[in-house]
Structure 1
Amino acid sequence: MNAIRTPSRSRRYPRGAACVLALLLASCGDDGAEPVKTALDISLVPDINVNAVGEVARAIDTIVLTLDSQAGLYPPGSESKQGNVEIKDADGDPADLELVATFPVPAGRLPLVRLERGGLPDRALTISVTGIKADKPATTVALGRVEGVRFEPDQALALPIVFNILPQHLPPRVMNVMPADGTILPQCELSAMVVTFSKPMSLASLQAEGSFTVASPQTAHVIALDPTKYNATYSFLAKPEFEDLEGGFGVRVVVSSAVTSLGGVNLDQVGAEPGNQPFDRLLSMTCPEQQPTLTPIPCVESQAQGSCPDGFSCQTGACVPGSCASIVCAPGYVCDPALLGCEVDCRAYGGANPCPQERPGCEPSTGLCR
């Protein structure tokens, strides 16, 4: 690359900083790379509570790695390009330039990246990783970032970077079902089940035949969504057939992958497996009489409780949680009290900020975008 020009008065830039900089790409599990002194071995590490490794790899086909420093790396006028590595203004701040490398995701697997120091200065670096898809070239699909990185002389340091799909690109998933597995029904009555999703859902897709079933699908029932559309109520209008289990009974809850969010994205409960996977869970419950009696109590707005589980009340024909205390979100998700639904914990992205422009701040105490 071209030599670095004379530094500005406000910042001191190293000459020849990128002259011997190298980025070496290796497939996952490739231990054949020869050791390199003074380097960073960068691995991309998805949070399994948010998304699986394979899920992230399938969601992107290109990775952009950006190297920057608060102290500045390159002065204006240092623009250059060599292969897939270039020096340019990548952050919209013309006062200093960044080092940017672009490379493909090999065989649908997250790559390992070796970054040699070369002539880079001895200063704290910020490394950002962006995952994009060919059909969405201007859209960031996955994000990772780490700050305060330094090289150690004559060492190849392992540097894991948390790297996750952004919340808006994740599929809807079932977060919780109430009454929960292991519930004891003191009155031996079960009239409704409430399923909480990670995104607002389409009522039409839930009501489609075979898309959302509890116990025996042929039993008369009503499906409704609460006002936020995060919580779906399945109310029995007649007594269904429950499965016999030792010491109690089983209630099977199935949500098909044909069910969609309001945005039209299909449910995918198991991101580790290719294709969209349904939610299928057998919940064990007990009551004094072993099998529940059932006096259908349709949820109507005039009833404070109706057939709803504890912590829920009837509103507009659906069971609505009274507060986040009634909602159990899956690991990696937090309950938003304004929506009474589960959203991805923005703290799960390490140094990166996954929050949208309309809610740009990640609250460290709650994990919610505000």
Structure 2
Amino acid sequence: AMGEAEDDVFLDELYQRALGRPIDPEGLRTFGAMLAAGESRVSVILEVARSDECVNRLLSDRFALPSLVELRPDRFPTEATRDGAKQIPVYVAETAEDFDWIERGVLDHGYYEKPGIWSLGVDLDKQVMAECLAAFAPTLGLEMGCASGAVLQCLAAQGVVSEGVEISSMAIARAASEVRPRIHHGDVLDLDLAPDYDLVFGLDIFEHLNPNRLDTYLSRLRDLLVPGGFLFANVPAYGTDPVFGEVFPLYLESWVADASAGRPFRRLHVDDDGYPLHGHLIWADTTWWVGRFEAAGLRREPRVEEALHARYDPWLLEAAPARRAFFVFSRDATGDAVDAVVARASVPSTVLADRMPAGV
């Protein structure tokens, strides 16, 4: 027990120094097991040092972007959080042109090429999401914004054939050789894709779209689905949802007003240089998001969502809480088709078999 306690202190200090944050439960479990199995601390240090997170953190500190605040200082005030604890820097987008301007700033200055913005490698999170998507048993899946195809790679291991769409040549260059041929390079609005997909999915991608064009993208994805097909979307949806509850709180008062008015938030949380956090161009509440997908001709499937939450929430709550903000829609799936997905989603996870909290 004393050795385990000493290992925990060592690992937390390693994370603080290498990654600038406390160790998370998954890291503690993984590296604690390595040490318990007799691996040296040097081996663990090297493993952390080689991680994408560590490498990206080191490179990111040397990747300076020009300030957007200096270009339009009047558009970058601060707003107090609802509890009054801090002042948040924001970008004020009152018109469609304002959203176009911030999108150009993000794209033209290479924000998305900055190290650390994307997680490109295969990891447990990607494996979990692939198993989640495999519950739909698609004949052919399509991932919107697939980056280097890590989820496609994990889906292949689940026996699911999928393709991807990706606009970044840098990300595609990082793709594994077995999935790279299945990645379509370009914008899904411009690509000539056959409407043969019975599952379309986007993981942390829809919030990067310009809200002025979101409806066009969703209509395109709906058209790529075969009748009865499903769409899975993981997005940072703020406020309280009837299925997954509150994952992202409404921490600015202006957001409460925007949500009540049925519009995306007009104040985007930004960093010190004026770039929206994580490059997110859409900040909106859960009701608004659901409304946009429904306006594209898709129907929400809460029973499927509830089955997936029951399967994964015990782990997600601890290891990846943001992943709980997801939606499942269909292009008029039959009741039998929905029942079949629910049945598959109700089987205990094999990917997380040794990671679920006791009693689950």
Which TM-score band (shorter chain)?
A: under 0.3
User: Higher strand proportion, which one?
Assistant: 1
- Compute the TM-score of the two structures, normalised by the length of structure 2: 0.21
- Compute the TM-score of the two structures, normalised by the length of structure 1: 0.21
